[in-house]
Amino acid sequence: MASLNVLNLTETTFSDQVLNSAHPILVDFWAEWCGPCKMIAPILDELAEEYSGRVAIGKVDVDSNQNLAVQYGVSAIPTLLLFKGGHVVEQLRGLRSKKDLKTVLDKVIA
pLDDT, tens digit only, all 110 positions of the chain: 456 789 999 999 999 999 999 999 999 999 999 999 999 999 999 999 999 999 999 999 999 999 999 999 999 999 999 999 999 999 999 999 999 999 999 999 98
- Name the DSSP letter for residue 14: H
Specify whether 51 is catalytic. no
Out of 25, 26, 37, 82, which one is annotated catalytic? 37
Domains of the chain listed by start with CATH number: 6-109 (3.40.30.10)
For 56, phi then psi, to 5°, come to -95, 155
How open is the CA angle 41-72-34, to the nearest 5 degrees? Answer: 30
Distance, CA of 75 to CA of 73 (rounded, Å): 6
The pLDDT of residue 92:
96
Specify whether 34 is catalytic. yes
The pLDDT of residue 1:
43
